[in-house]
Amino acid sequence: MEAPIPEAILWDDWHAVAELETVRQWDQITTTLFGRDLTVTDAAPGVRIAYADGSKTLPASIKYGLVWTCLGTPQRDVIDFPESAEPDRYVISTGSFGIRVSGLRLVENFLDIAHFPYVHTGYLGVESSPQVLPYTVRVTDEDEILVTDCRFLQPQSSPVSTGSLDVGYLFHVLRPYTVLLKKTNAVEPDRSDTIVLFVQPVDEERCVGHTLVMSLHAGDPDEACRWFQRLIIGQDRRILENQRPRRLPLDLKSELPVRADLASITYRRWLLDHGVRYGAIAP
């Protein structure tokens, strides 16, 4: 049976489907997007993307060291991040990782600071200090979710941290499968590093996360960035793959009992308002 076609807001958007370095290394790779098997072929200086059965060639773009495609008709460009052009930053694709869970679950996990002391203890939090201080969430005039005023005491906020740091966080949900965070740089605390998660929905219960780090040169060297992000994501994977159901419930009363879940509540309500049901459980 043919895989379902998701809502237009998802189908007609660009999605990261591979790291360019991997495609260059193997000449051709296979991957899956919305249940459709694809081939991504090195065609330097670009790439060629097509359905695996050869029935259709798809649009292709390369940006941030990632390969992008759209199964429908793109209604907007791949997102541009102004900080990626700043000369004192590394702009690094830090890896692609498969997780057996809905892509919406992965985005929600990225927004959740309450799990830091338990899942990332010794790095992003400590179990003896699990409090989540009040923070602010709003939907902007551009119809994006902005989470501000987040703070967390972290023993090792990055590979170059030399001690605990009171870290400020800002989250920005730009599209259903794209979320950005800015966090205090351990070396220049008046500036922020930027981390972006691009989620590739393999199907409704599996996804691939592609991570992009735009880190100050005064902070993490590029290999340290890769190591640290892979460590944190590996810790998240164990928790995510044990969640049931694998799809994200959109019932606002489900799984979200406390004030610390305000970002998750807003994200679920925002998905409902946009008619997103792919990878979700409707109320």
Question: pLDDT tens-digit profile of 69-117?
Answer: 999 999 999 999 999 999 988 888 988 999 999 999 999 999 887 766 6
Crossing angle for the helix pair 262-273 and 103-111, to the nearest 10 degrees: 140
- Closest alpha carbon to 271 in 254, 253, 252: 252
Same domain assignment for residues 197 and 256: yes
Work out the pLDDT band at 221, boundaries 50, 70, 90.
low
Same domain assignment for residues 137 and 38: no
Q: Give the range among 70-74, 201-205, 213-217, 254-258 with minimum mean pLDDT.
A: 254-258
Same domain assignment for residues 12 and 92: no
pLDDT of 9 above 80: yes
Check residues 97 and 258 and name the one with the higher pLDDT: 97
Work out the pLDDT band at 30, boundaries 50, 70, 90.
very high
In a domain, 224, yes or no: yes
143-150: long-range contacts (C-beta < 8 A, 24 or more apart)? 144/172, 144/173, 144/174, 145/171, 145/172, 145/173, 145/263, 145/266, 145/267, 145/270, 146/170, 146/171, 146/172, 146/173, 147/111, 147/171, 147/172, 147/173, 147/263, 147/266, 150/113
Verify cis geometry, omega within 30 degrees of 0, for the bond prior to 45. yes
Q: What is the mean pLDDT of residues 232-257?
A: 82
In a domain, 1, yes or no: no
Q: What is the mean pLDDT of residues 217-241?
A: 76
Same domain assignment for residues 163 and 254: yes
Q: What is the DSSP string of 43-77?
A: ETTEEEEEETTSS-EE-EEEETTEEEE-SS--SSP
Residues spanned by the domain of 150? 82-281
Number of domains in the chain: 2
Paired with 277 in beta bridges are none
Q: What is the mean pLDDT of residues 185-209?
A: 92
Where residue 37 sits, what CATH number does that domain have?
2.102.10.10
Token representation of residue 3 = 């895989």
Where residue 145 sits, what CATH number does that domain have?
3.30.530.20
Same domain assignment for residues 24 and 117: no
Same domain assignment for residues 28 and 161: no
User: What confidence score (pLDDT) does residue 115 get?
Assistant: 65
Domain-terminating residue out of 69, 90, 108: 69
In a domain, 274, yes or no: yes
In a domain, 272, yes or no: yes
Same domain assignment for residues 143 and 275: yes
In a domain, 99, yes or no: yes
